[in-house]
Chain A
Amino acid sequence: MTQGNVKLERSPYPYTGQVVIERAATQPNVCDARVKIELRNLGLYYENFKALEDINLHIMCNSITAIIGPSGCGKSTALRSLNRMNELIEGARVEGKVIMDGENIYERDYRVVRLRKRVGMVFQRPNPFPKSIYDNIAFGPRLFGVRERNILDCIIEESLRRAALWDEVKDKLRDSALTLSGGQQQRLCIARVLSVQPEVILLDEPCAALDPIATQRIEDLLSELKNEYTIVTVTHNMQQAARISDFTAFFMIENQGEPGRIVEFGETSKIFTNPDDERTEEYITGRFG
């Protein structure tokens, strides 16, 4: 550890024990303003099809924001607009702004690589790389230039511990990540995201492919992680949104072929007990969707 800390002073990446304590003391992740990300009149097109319109949303620091709504209403599209993953689709185009810490991430000179380091993403189906557990977690740090073995070791242990996976895999870090169960793989993916110390974590229906017990573990984990990270999750599961989120945004499309819009956004307790819009109430009580 001592050696690790000595080396760390040259490393731009504050990962191991001492530095983490310093981090906690200065709390860089607890942002000064309460709003971490603001979506301002966001609209999104695929070629000529408008998938999202007039999305206005405030995502608060150190909270979990859930995006709910019926299938095909643009939930995932909205989520993917926060780390510009929608750009992978040919013909996708964005209007409006997504402002994170005062900067519009769609500004021409905003570097998408830096954005994705700050905004990590966990996908619907666990997608570990076909590499060892160790190399999966080391992937991000290596991308950003961490080479020293002892620092990588520390990062991997810390990331796996935070993702509540360390005890299950500590003796088989060299095994292929594909040997893990679905729930373990998903926690590995969360650990992989944590390894680069992001500020925001996006989750696209992270429990859709998991059994109830694995789901429970992920939910517990998210509730813990929100103390340090800003979390946005898309979910089909209303109970899940009600259980874990602080804020909820309800998305909907009025008619087939129209863009998805936000019907209602507010504190989860309010949305689920006393929604303003009757469509929200109908959806939450299971009358459609």
Chain B
Amino acid sequence: MARERYIKLLLMACASLSFLAILLIFIFILRESMPALTKVGFGNLFTSTDWNPDKGSFGILAFLNGTILTTLGGLIIGAPLGVGTAIFLDQVAPKKMATVIRRGIELLAGIPSVVIGWFGLIILVPFIARITNSSGYGIAAASVVLAVMVLPTITALSVETLRSLPIELKEASLAMGATRWQSIRTVLLPAAREGILVAVILGMGRAIGETMAVQMVIGNSRQFTLSLFKPTATLTSRLVTDMGEAPPGVFRSSLFAMALVLLIFAMLLIFSVRMITRKRKA
């Protein structure tokens, strides 16, 4: 019986350690970003588009804008693609074909982001440059790269949701004389709505946090832009660009403030997933 107790203690230690690590990271980031929040000022930090640490300007709005636009762009392309693929795999494709495609998509999830970013850099950016007569770097290129990266998450989770639907629902709608497409649109998709929403939100989390691939194709400029084809930056890409050179002080603290924003985004996403799944159970 003593052994039982040791194992229990050991497992408890593991759990406490993980929890403690997360808590400490949060406290650390919060503490480190305090100087920026107090000295630059909350308002200035989030409303200024001027990021010029040498001259004492620390506005991160341009990067916040970059993160939001690339994430939305990635989801606008990736979510319909992922949900469409999931519907195809679960409802349309013959079993063998579905298995092959599923394996392929799982593989896609395992490709390191730097490889996808590299593809973007040597194929996508020149392509966009040619058709838009711009440099090719920017939100459009980053959105496409992110779409590829969120695709496996959204597809896999959507397939899981569709699979978990009772077969009786599909039978009921088909037996009423619905075509396959009518059955998908009017019965299966509404029934899977929450699960698909969760899939998209988790994909969003992936898109917000993605650094490497985005940094390679977005152009890394500090300018604020709403144009899809002008170089700009995201919170993550700016962080990774500047973190090597930032001396302790307000500069480094502003980088931590960016990290804090990312952390809060992540927490909001997790929270919304919790809300959706709880509502489903009720």
Contact = CB atoms under 8 A, between A and B. Distances in A.
Given A116-B174, A129-B191, A144-B177, A90 B168 contact: no
Interface stretch (A95-103, A117-125, A151-159, A278-286): A117-125
Contacts of A192: 172, 176
A213 interface: no
B171 interface: yes
Given A117-B176, A127-B168, A143-B178, 9 more contacts: A83-B175, A88-B171, A88-B174, A113-B177, A116-B174, A127-B169, A129-B191, A142-B186, A192-B172
A192 B176 CA distance: 8
Contact of A139 (B166, B170, B186): B186
A121 B175 contact: yes
B227 interface: no
A56 B186 CA distance: 37
B272 interface: no
A127 B177 contact: no
B182 interface: yes
B126 to A, nearest CB: 44
A212 interface: no
B176 A139 contact: yes
Nearest to B186: A139
Contacts of A108: none
Given A90-B94, A113-B179, A127-B166, A139 B173 contact: yes
A124 B178 CA distance: 20
Given A113-B179, A116-B177, A117-B177, A123 B190 contact: no
B95 interface: yes
A143 B187 contact: no
A83 B172 CA distance: 12
A85 B178 CA distance: 12
Contacts of A131: 190
A117 B174 CA distance: 10
A114 B182 CA distance: 14
Q: Which of A123, A129, A131 neighbours the largest number of chain B CB atoms within 10 Å of its CB?
A: A129
Contacts of B174: 85, 88, 116
B177 A129 contact: no
A34 to B, nearest CB: 26
Contacts of A121: 175
Given A90-B94, A90-B95, A129 B173 contact: yes
Nearest to B175: A121
A116 B175 contact: yes
Contacts of B186: 139, 142-143
Contact of B177 (A90, A128, A196): A196
Contact of A189 (B95, B172, B177, B179): B172
A115 B175 CA distance: 9
Interface in B69-90: none
Nearest to B94: A90
- By Cβ-Cβ distance, the 4 closest A-B pairs, closest first, are A127-B168, A116-B177, A117-B177, A121-B175
A28 interface: no
Q: Which of A88, A114, A128, A192 neighbours the largest number of chain B CB atoms within 10 Å of its CB?
A: A88
